[in-house]
Chain A
């Protein structure tokens, strides 16, 4: 509780934190609520050679079942997953600011143990992941209730996806977290994080091939929640894509293995290094 209060005192007046949290929440809500209105097949109605409109290519995502339980959780979780980068930057800054302001050492001098100091940052990160997951869950519930649903049991059936979403957030944050502790500089950590996530790992994946590449640290995060659009638009049936049914245990397990590894590494770094 003390650690939580401490973090709250530090963050509540931090303008970037307040603004970005607000913006993030708004964007998540807007996306989840209005994505259903977007035409799944682009703005222009597709036409065949003779100028006759092809149906059902004008349908929006809501009509295709974006908010239909039990898949609604997964569908919206996939969209909400994009906000992890935003939040990851906050995770990085919450750590690197302590080094930029040299308050890390002052906190220790004032009496915080290294363990407590690390713990306070870990809690902040966990709460951010939890908050975003809950937000996605609640938004899904509200939207699903607004659209007709087959039965109430399907509401529960989709819930495990939220555990996957939580894991996806955490996995992404854990890399950001480790980089922040290692580099101590906000700009450097953010840059390297984005560079690795979007470019370096893709190159590695390509070089290593799928068999080995799937074990790269950020890969399980990508397969925790299945991309829903091919299924929604029934493109999957056209190209004959197989779906993974059930909970993605393999990606889930791999994610938590990496989580444990990254957190342990960061913790050891805090314990051993001179501040």
Chain B
């Protein structure tokens, strides 16, 4: 794929919602939610349980009727039909327990009117090929989750919608499912994933929307969730000597000692290389220079607890 087509496809909006709202009696599950999800991104819908993630996915998947607001997939382009270009699962993997993996996939293919679905291929992708003839009811939770992903992949989708894909899995299952999702994303498929686990979103997603009690708190890149003024750790043989130099460095906004290190906050206009060069010119050679990202978990909690 040439870089030009990448540039083109990146501009397409996969999902756009405008002021989506869902009201259950007096309870507002989702409030005025406007999202913009670009093609090729791995988009995380992050929030604690009950923050409206599943309700939001339910609305854009046609399961739940919005109380107000609108949404649009692929900028209204519906050829081939939307559901043929999308693989999606909501909450738990839902299959007929008395049917085996192959039969369940055949049903999905029938619904999507697929002529020659790649059953074997998708079953291999999710490591279920050996168990394809066992009934679904005998599957472990991890296998169920993987079958759901297999079903979602049947159409060779442009977008994959997942809801808490690692919920309830053991560590090995979590690792497997995450790896599968990353592999899928690498193929250029847009992934929209709801999760309440920050670390998961951080590991898998590049863009994120943070929800709390149905309200959108943040939307943007995962890196952007962290305020830009991160701290730098500076290490030098004679740590005390560094103090006055740092006070006078034009790039330094704030400097304070911590154990044998100095913690430095830079002026927005400067970067660490400039500071490093400045110190070297003055004859101070650092033995340690490391960015200390402000803790994502703390940022997330700060957002959610406001």
Query: A184 to nearest B CB, angstroms?
Result: 14
User: Mask for A92-116, Cβ within 8 A of B = 1, else 0?
Assistant: 0000000001110111111110000
Q: Which partner residue on chain A sits nearest B100 by CB separation?
A: A13
- Identify which of B85-93, B199-207, B275-283, B284-292 touches chain A: B85-93
In Å, the complex CA distance between A101 and B97 comes to: 8
**Contact indicator B81/A111 (Cβ below 8 Å):** yes
Query: Interface size of B by Cβ–Cβ distance < 8 Å?
Result: 30
The answer for the CA separation of A4 and B99 in the assembled complex, in Å, is 17
A194 → chain B closest CB, angstroms: 25
Q: Is A243 an interface residue (CB 8 A)?
A: no
Which residues on the B side are within 8 Å of A109 (C-beta)?
61-63, 83, 88-90
| A128 CA to B67 CA, complexed, in Å | 38
Candidates A9, A102, A107, A110; contact of B92 at CB < 8 Å: A102
Q: Are B111 and A110 in contact (CB under 8 A)?
A: yes
Contact with A along B32-62 (1 / 0, CB 8 A): 0000000000000000000000000010011
Question: Smallest CB–CB gap between B261 and chain A, Å?
Answer: 52
A161–B112 alpha-carbon span in the complex (Å): 42
Residues in B with CB closer than 8 Å to A102 are 91-92, 94
Q: By the criterion CB–CB under 8 Å, are B112 and A106 in contact?
A: no
CB neighbours (8 Å) of A15 from chain B are 98
Contact between B62 and A108 (Cβ–Cβ < 8 Å)? yes
**Interface-facing stretch out of B102-110, B118-126, B180-188:** B102-110
Taken together as a complex, chains A and B put the C-alpha atoms of A107 and B111 apart, in Å, by 7
User: How far is the CB of A98 from the nearest CB of chain B, in Å?
Assistant: 9
Docked-complex contact B58 and A274, CB < 8 angstroms: yes
B171: shortest Cβ distance to chain A, in Å? 26
In the bound complex, residues from chain B placing their C-beta under 8 Å from that of A101 are 94-97
Whether a CB of chain A sits under 8 angstroms from the CB of B267 is no
* Chain A contacts for B62, CB-based, 8 A: 108-109
Residue B19 lies at the interface, judged by CB distance under 8 Å to chain A: no
Q: List residues 154-178 of chain B with CB under 8 A from any CB of chain A.
A: none
Majority secondary structure, B binding face: loop
B219 CB within 8 Å of chain A: no
Selected from A6, A14, A103, A275, the residue in CB contact (under 8 A) with B63 is A275
B61-86 with Cβ < 8 A to chain A: 61-65, 81-84
Residue B106 contacts which of A2, A9, A274 (CB distance < 8 angstroms)?
A: A9
The verdict on B274 contacting chain A, using a C-beta distance below 8 Å, is no
Contact B63 A111 (CB under 8 A): no
What does the 1/0 interface line of A254-275 toward B look like (CB < 8 Å)? 0000000000000000001011
A17 and B62 alpha carbons, distance in the complex (Å): 30
A275 cross-chain contacts in B, Cβ below 8 A: 63-64
Q: Which residues of A contact B112 (CB under 8 A)?
A: 110-111
Q: Is A52 an interface residue (CB 8 A)?
A: no
**A206-225 interface (Cβ within 8 A of B):** none
Q: Does B113 contact A (CB under 8 A)?
A: yes
B137 → chain A closest CB, angstroms:
10
Rounded to whole angstroms, the CA-CA distance of A110 and B154 in the bound complex is 11
* Cα–Cα distance between A106 and B111 once the two chains are bound (Å): 10
CB distance from A141 to the nearest CB of B (A): 36
Contact A110-B108, Cβ < 8 Å, known A14-B98, A101-B96: yes
Most buried by B among A5, A13, A106: A106
Q: Please indicate which of the listed interface residues B64, B95, B103, B110 has the most CB atoms of chain A within 10 Å of its own CB.
A: B110
| 5 A–B contacts from the bound complex (CB under 8 Å) | A2-B113, A109-B88, A111-B84, A111-B111, A112-B111
The 5 closest A-B pairs by CB, nearest first: A111-B83, A106-B94, A102-B94, A274-B64, A110-B111
Known: A105-B94, A109-B61. 11 other contacts (CB 8 A): A101-B94, A101-B97, A102-B94, A105-B90, A107-B111, A109-B88, A110-B108, A110-B111, A110-B151, A111-B111, A275-B63
